[in-house]
């Protein structure tokens, strides 16, 4: 196909008329399709329905160590659940705390605790003149929402194919003690799908921050969320690397089973150093007597061990892989060679990151909405919802059925073409 910018103005005007006619046809269908968030589809949720049957009123709800899961107690999680989630997170079982259903909740609590009471004896962040966070972009909107809610100043860090710009990170954290943390999604990043290289992980572990209470918020949300059996990204383990580098307390590592079992009823966990755990438990003993041990036991008995969990994720991949491949194939078919957009082809995770021509993302999302397809808001992948290039759009293929996903993707490509033509013509005018 001929690149749009190589077309004459007359060719573009004729193309624009054809695209408008096609767009009006889509509008006449009165579509109601939603691709705004990376939610599992109903067929994925069905994979975990057996979890509803592993416990019954006649079952013994006692753990191996004699703990009665129906009662109070066990602040940091039952031993069996700690082992299962520790294996999932690739950490030592002694470095893990099991929480409730949401890792986002744990991250919020972690920032809130630092705000009100400080980290390991350091000044509470709320008493400081300025608190800053580094934010690899494009990134996860809900991470940015937490730090924005607490009035933290967020600094954009460009993402590369192998992770965030480490030269920039190393310089900033070494020079500014107001920088207290960084958000990371190190594996199959949200939304790019890229994973951090071994060298990037090691450079994180070797950081020399000016702030003693600087912490890496390492959200390994997609640790076992591969799309393929034979091509998978693997990370070296950050807690081990920090310990080797003499920075054992620098990382909070988060994960959950939210896109493994049931998103609203999973298990969340935090893995960190012994010193950090002791600091966290001071607050945790005030906050709760213990999280849902019955749900923890349910997960253990359903999955059995990490091998059962990985096998379960292969079933998820069998559902997700055709959806991702279809979207990517349509992108190649509809947009290949036009030079009006680029995208990343991930090996796992839940998203596809699309970059339109600068200045086009908001208009593309708006046009899709007017024709009945809801996408994640343009700018959502940047702090404060402000993409400086108005370019990045997060595509979430997981939730719609395949037939609806195809319609939505083709409409998206049509809107990319239409907005790009308008932009090029406007620039020429």
What's the confidence (pLDDT) of residue 312?
98
The span from the CA of 391 to the CA of 379, in Å, is: 8
Residue ranges of the chain with pLDDT lower than 50?
A: none
Residue with tokens 């607490």: 150
Range(s) for CATH 3.90.1150.10 in the chain?
4-45+310-428
Angle between helices 141-149 and 103-117 in degrees, nearest 10 = 30
The secondary structure of residue 278, as a DSSP letter, is H
What's the confidence (pLDDT) of residue 36?
87
What's the confidence (pLDDT) of residue 37?
85
CA distances to 20, 29, 360 from 418, in Å? 7, 18, 10
Looking at domain 4-45+310-428, its CATH class is alpha beta
Provide the b/e sequence for 193-225 (b: ≥16 CB within 10 Å).
Answer: bbbbbeebbbbbbbbebebebbbbbbbbbbbbb
The span from the CA of 116 to the CA of 35, in Å, is: 37
Range(s) for CATH 3.40.640.10 in the chain?
62-304
Tell the CATH topology of 62-304. Answer: 3.40.640
With a CB cutoff of 8 Å and minimum separation 6, the contacts of 207 are 169, 170, 173, 174, 214, 216, 247, 250
pTM for the structure as a whole: 0.96
Helix (H) or strand (E) holding 9: helix 9-27
CA distances to 17, 136, 204, 241, 245 from 216, in Å? 51, 12, 8, 13, 14
What's the confidence (pLDDT) of residue 1?
76
């Amino acid at each position: 196909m001929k690149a749009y910018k190589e077309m004459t103005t007359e060719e573009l005007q004729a193309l624009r008329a054809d695209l408008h006619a096609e767009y009006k046809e889509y509008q006449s269908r009165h579509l109601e399709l939603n691709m705004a968030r990376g939610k599992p589809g109903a067929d994925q949720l069905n994979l975990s329905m057996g979890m509803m049957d592993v416990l019954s009123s006649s079952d013994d709800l006692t753990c191996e160590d004699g703990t009665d899961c129906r009662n109070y107690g066990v602040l940091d999680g039952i031993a069996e659940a700690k082992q299962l989630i520790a294996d999932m997170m690739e950490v030592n079982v002694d470095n893990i705390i099991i929480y409730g259903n949401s890792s986002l909740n744990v991250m919020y609590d972690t920032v809130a605790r630092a705000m009100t009471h400080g980290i390991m004896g350091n000044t509470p962040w709320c008493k400081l003149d300025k608190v800053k966070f580094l934010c690899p972009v494009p990134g996860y909107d809900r991470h940015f929402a937490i730090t924005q809610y607490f009035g933290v100043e967020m600094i954009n860090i460009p993402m590369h194919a192998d992770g965030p710009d480490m030269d920039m990170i190393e310089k900033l954290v070494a020079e500014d003690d107001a920088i207290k943390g960084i958000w990371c999604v190190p594996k199959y990043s949200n939304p790019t799908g890229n994973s951090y290289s071994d060298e990037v992980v090691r450079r994180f572990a070797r950081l020399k921050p000016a702030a003693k209470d600087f912490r890496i918020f390492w959200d390994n949300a997609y640790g076992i969320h591969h799309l393929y059996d034979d091509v998978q990204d693997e990370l070296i383990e950050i807690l081990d690397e920090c310990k080797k580098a003499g920075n054992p307390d620098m990382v909070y590592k988060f994960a959950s089973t939210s896109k493994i079992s049931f998103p609203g009823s999973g298990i969340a966990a935090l893995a960190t150093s012994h010193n950090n755990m002791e600091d966290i438990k001071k607050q945790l003993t005030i906050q709760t007597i213990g999280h849902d041990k019955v749900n923890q036991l349910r997960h253990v008995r359903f999955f059995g061990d990490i091998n059962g969990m990985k096998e379960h994720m292969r079933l998820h991949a069998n559902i997700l892989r055709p959806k991702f491949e279809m979207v990517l194939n349509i992108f190649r078919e509809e947009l290949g060679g036009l030079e009006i957009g680029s995208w990343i082809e991930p090996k796992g995770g839940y998203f596809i990151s699309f970059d339109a021509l600068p200045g086009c993302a908001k208009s593309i999302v708006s046009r899709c909405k007017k024709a009945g397809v809801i996408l994640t808001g343009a700018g959502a992948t940047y702090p404060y919802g402000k993409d400086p290039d108005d370019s990045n759009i997060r595509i979430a293929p997981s939730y719609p059925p395949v037939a609806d996903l195809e319609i939505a993707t083709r409409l998206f490509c049509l809107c990319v073409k239409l907005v790009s033509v308008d932009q090029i013509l406007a620039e020429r005018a």
